[in-house]
Chains A and B, each alone.
Chain A
């Protein structure tokens, strides 16, 4: 047990928390955009998984991590365009399509991986890191937080950008209107369906990048079903954050730390089932909900297709 508070342990814990938290952050931020615009995007798990696959394949054959992220984002966007077509254009049930998309891409990525790599799991070289001068010299915190892949800093910057976008721009207002009073947005001359389509595509891009991060930076390999519910955690984060990006970040940190804790504790030789630690963030969030029970705020039009003139 005394090995727990040593410097290498804490550094590994921090580093692991960031690596595990970034995909959740990206998924949560992405889901937040959709939910704000009134689309309950349950298919985000499928977007992450397909992004992980396309991102991995691109990085594997090109050797470029930047290209990997781009391909991951585009992969996620491709899945999102299905959701856009069926749920927004046709107004089909978002839960049915969302789950169908998740199931379908779970199967498809497994299939593609099988025919591409057979039963082998090729590994990427370690992801490049970008040390922030000065900050990265701090003991424990430096190597843990400031010697990370460039995508980590980008993702955190995205939190600030999205907070600004939601609060200070017309884009943010339009998104919010599409989720809370789509008819008003329509009356103001803004295309509701197009606003929602853009939101869903952005979600797909972010979720795809998150998946690519998971495969390329986090694991270094692609394994079928590797997202393992991360998309659903993203949905939980987005709903808990009530439209505020900073809360998605805090939630992602919470979940990231406990995911990292499971591996870190094993390394330190503490012998408890990983499931106990995996329960912690969910138990904590539930506890917070029970103690500080607040009315949750969700966009009134969440999950409802918009049909002009319908009531």
Chain B
């Protein structure tokens, strides 16, 4: 029987056809919601008396089609990718680390504080690596309290990590204003890391090397979670903690480790954003990437490769939307409406797809 099917499968190669159809379906699942969101967003613009085609034209041109815009888009991807990588580890292990903004910001401030201090005595390469390491450690440390509370006492990490996030954002500001403030500036900010001392640029572009680190990390995290024993352990903990205990896994320790890795990667994102783009942290700076990345990671179904695609799309939308808004004369916050619409339609199409598959299997 097996021989028969094998022979049957050879001429038409149905496996390849299956695979192609799957990919086609996956692409449709992404394209349809994006189109739907753009149409609804366009209607909103029309109601407000603006020309949607003009707006979208600028978004496309500024976000993807001009060289400068494309570089900005790629640059924006780096922190988003690293936050995504951190969240994939946590979410796959069933741990809802919602404290990403606090971890990100705190790590950013630490890098901004350590960098300019070390650069005077150490070579650039060592300084940059040291900044990243310290930032990763600080972010991981910051996640320790929710991790321990979760593993020892079973206290829900959604509340504790959210609170540590608020705490971290304020604490980062305190650090900037009280401890690391550059005496030379009126608005409180940390000392500036000179452009030549920042992360190296890639070739002749404005894209910094952090993007390569981020891409490598996302792929490694994806492989770690899907191809290694450690990743499998984490997935078991996430899918069924009781079964994991029964299987002899040290769930408490794995929980703490997951939190530390997750926060550490998010911290690396904060560090790279400072070392590559800004060079300093101004008081009250908070890009609040977490709110965007959390749903993005869900919609990518915790898949690292899908995350790369989504991140590229949302980065282009954010970068392009910002300048398009200025030209067309709508507030730049309009891009938030578009992002929300895309998220909702992605979820809806996912749901319809789920219904359709249920109907065909039933």
Contacts and interface: CB of A to CB of B under 8 A. Distances in A.
Contact of B166 (A100, A229, A276, A295): A229
Interface string A271-303: 001011011001101100110011110100000
B149 A97 contact: no
A97 B344 contact: yes
A102 B343 CA distance: 11
Contacts of A293: 149, 152-153, 155
B347 A93 contact: yes
Contact of B330 (A100, A114, A286): A114
Given A236-B162, A293-B155, A296-B155, A111 B291 contact: no
Contact of B336 (A104, A275, A283): A104
B221 to A, nearest CB: 20
Contacts, number: 138
A110 B332 CA distance: 9
Majority secondary structure of chain B interface residues (helix, strand, loop or mixed): helix
Contact of A296 (B154, B167, B173, B295): B154
B171 interface: yes
A99 interface: yes
A17 interface: no
Nearest to A235: B162
Interface in A94-144: 95-97, 99-108, 110-111, 114-115
Contact of A99 (B173, B291, B330, B350): B291
B152 A86 contact: no
B174 A276 contact: yes
B177 A273 contact: yes
Contacts of B145: 286, 290
B65 to A, nearest CB: 24
B359 to A, nearest CB: 14
B254 interface: no
Interface string A24-41: 000000000000000010
A107 B41 CA distance: 12
Given A103-B343, A285-B163, A275 B152 contact: no
Contacts of A289: 149, 155, 160
A240 interface: yes
A67 B333 CA distance: 28
Contacts of B330: 111, 114
Contact of A236 (B48, B159, B299): B159
A40 to B, nearest CB: 8
Contacts of A95: 294-295, 298
A275 B170 contact: yes
Contacts of B350: 92
Contacts of B48: 111, 115
Interface residues of B, number: 46
Interface string A139-154: 0000000000000000
Interface residues of A, number: 47
Contacts of A273: 173-174, 177-178
B149 A93 contact: no
Contact of B160 (A40, A101, A283, A286): A286
B177 A91 contact: no
The residue among A100, A110, A278 with the most chain B CB atoms within 10 A of its own CB is: A100
A240 B331 CA distance: 37
Contacts of B20: none
A198 B152 CA distance: 36
Nearest to A286: B163
B67 interface: no
Contact of B337 (A104, A115, A295): A104
Interface in B284-331: 291-292, 294-295, 298-299, 330-331
B174 A86 contact: no
A296 B156 contact: yes
A275 B174 contact: yes
B293 to A, nearest CB: 10
A240 B339 contact: no
A55 interface: no
A243 interface: no
Contact of A282 (B163, B334, B335): B163
A279 B170 contact: yes
Given A294-B153, A296-B154, A92 B337 contact: no
17 contacts: A90-B351, A92-B347, A92-B351, A93-B298, A96-B299, A101-B340, A104-B344, A107-B340, A232-B166, A275-B171, A276-B170, A278-B166, A282-B163, A282-B170, A285-B163, A289-B160, A296-B155
Interface of A: 40, 86, 90-93, 95-97, 99-108, 110-111, 114-115, 224, 229, 232-233, 235-236, 239-240, 273, 275-276, 278-279, 282-283, 285-286, 289-290, 293-296, 298
